[in-house]
Chain A
Amino acid sequence: MSDPTADVLSPLHDEHVALGAALTSFAGWQMPLRYTSDLAEHTAVRTAAGLFDLSHMGELEVTGPQAGSALDAALVGHLSALAEGRARYTMIVDEHGGVLDDLVVYRLAPERFVVVANASNVAVVRDALRERLTGFDAALDDASLRTALVAVQGPRAEEIVASATEPADVDAVRALKYYAAVPATVAGLSALVARTGYTGEDGFELFVDAADAPALWRALLAAGAPHGLVPAGLSARDSLRLEAGMPLYGNELDSTTTPYDAGLGRVVRLDKTDADGDPLPFVGRDALAGRADSQPARVLVGLQGLGRRAARHGYPVLASAEAGAAHVGTVTSGAPSPTLGHPVAMAYVTPEVSAPGTELAVDVRGRAEPVRVVPLPFYRRPR
């Protein structure tokens, strides 16, 4: 049992308390679970906008003349090919190809990258990167505790962030492409504004110095209020990312899982080459190369619940609702979908039962509840 009094407090802790948030212990941090209602916060993000505190995420800066090639050797992606001002979703794996964490890497300058890691994995990623950077002319700096991260997510996000941005920077912020980032002055504060998120909506993530976070938070709340923005907690974040079919480390991803198992083989760049066109080795490459063309033993699928009871993390997936049906998989995440009005779940199942339309069942606390395999994501925002 973790001791909640030992949790790290977000630089926005006082704001959360003032807003009456229910706080929860998450990955060694005390973070807001919800402010009012999970459903209201979820719906606000789908229809207007939500403001999230993500200060528990880790920010690891990798700098130096060989920062890009060091990351090529350390991660599965081809980061030296990333354009300045762009971001990429990637992973760090162990030598067996098992996922240590999923990451977003930003290239802020030719010799400066920021690796954003999940709160629960910051130490693992930092230690692995430090080791893998040995021999490269590159330095690692853990900026996690001095960096705050705030996200504005939802269809009104662009208007809200633009209205809080210094006029000289507004055009650059509005013109940001998905998975791109630009420095901008927001609410009078220096921020890195990225068009990224974890909700399936348009949105922005703003990195600022921890000391500036409360002023930024209050300014965004004020700028967003006329647009329907509400503060949103980790509970809404989880239901939003589930509807959007996005993996959560510890649920869909862990060190026993390869990117291929999770249907994310596209992030593995076995073809990445150096300046001379020679193949670039990276940690886990040999193991992953052996898996690339073979059918994985299990496949990550979406399940639509046909009843009202939701499957949850760890529940067994059954071949049918009949008594004695074979165990064909395990649920990784599940919840009632507020947007769709029925339960949804992600699960690892055997390949034979992974085709969309396949009727299966989930053992929901002793009762077989019917489900149907459906394509991921469950929810795609209207464009």
Chain B
Amino acid sequence: MTALPAHLHYTLEHEWLEDGSPATVGITSTAAEALGDIVYLELPAVGEQIAAGAVVGEIESTKSVSELFSPVSGTVVEVNQDAVDDPSLVNSDPFGRGWLLKVDVASTGPLLTAEEYEAHAAG
């Protein structure tokens, strides 16, 4: 299993958030592994207002479909077109080239540390 980057924040729904302006959002290696081969991403449009905790997209694998929950409220300023074109990037590099959104953050939802998320994911 990929080691969890300690500098990221995590959600109970298996997203990660990297602080910054804008902040970056993706899904964790745990989520990517559980989904299997990801074949399709449905992501919000640039400019869209998203709310922390709300469903903002879908991640479809050969086996199942999972919803993408936003860890933050704010405005989408970029979506990862490379990952939309080649969703396997989310499997191969979930914390790197498989990022999903960049968001101009207005406020954040409940977030976990890497340690807290690890305990949650193991449970």
| Residues of A near any B CB (own CB < 8 A) | 22, 33-34, 37-39, 42, 235, 238-239, 308-310, 312, 335-336, 338, 365
Contact = CB atoms under 8 A, between A and B. Distances in A.
B39 to A, nearest CB: 5
Contacts of A335: 62-63
Interface in B23-38: 33, 36-37
A376 to B, nearest CB: 20
Interface residues of B, number: 14
Interface in B56-93: 58, 60-65, 91
Given A22-B33, A336-B60, A365-B58, A312 B39 contact: no
Contacts of A310: 40, 60, 65
Query: Which residue among B36, B58, B63 has the maximum number of chain A CB atoms within 10 Å of its CB?
Result: B63
Contacts of A239: 62
**A contact patch SS:** mixed
B42 interface: yes
B36 A309 contact: no
14 contacts: A22-B33, A33-B36, A38-B61, A38-B62, A38-B63, A39-B39, A235-B36, A308-B40, A309-B40, A335-B62, A335-B63, A336-B62, A365-B58, A365-B65
A235 B63 contact: yes
Contact of B39 (A22, A235, A336, A365): A336
Contacts of B37: 37-39
Contacts of B36: 33-34, 37-38, 235
Given A37-B91, A235-B36, A235-B62, 20 more contacts: A33-B63, A38-B37, A38-B62, A39-B39, A39-B62, A42-B62, A235-B63, A238-B63, A239-B62, A308-B40, A309-B40, A309-B42, A310-B40, A310-B60, A310-B65, A312-B65, A335-B62, A336-B39, A336-B40, A365-B58
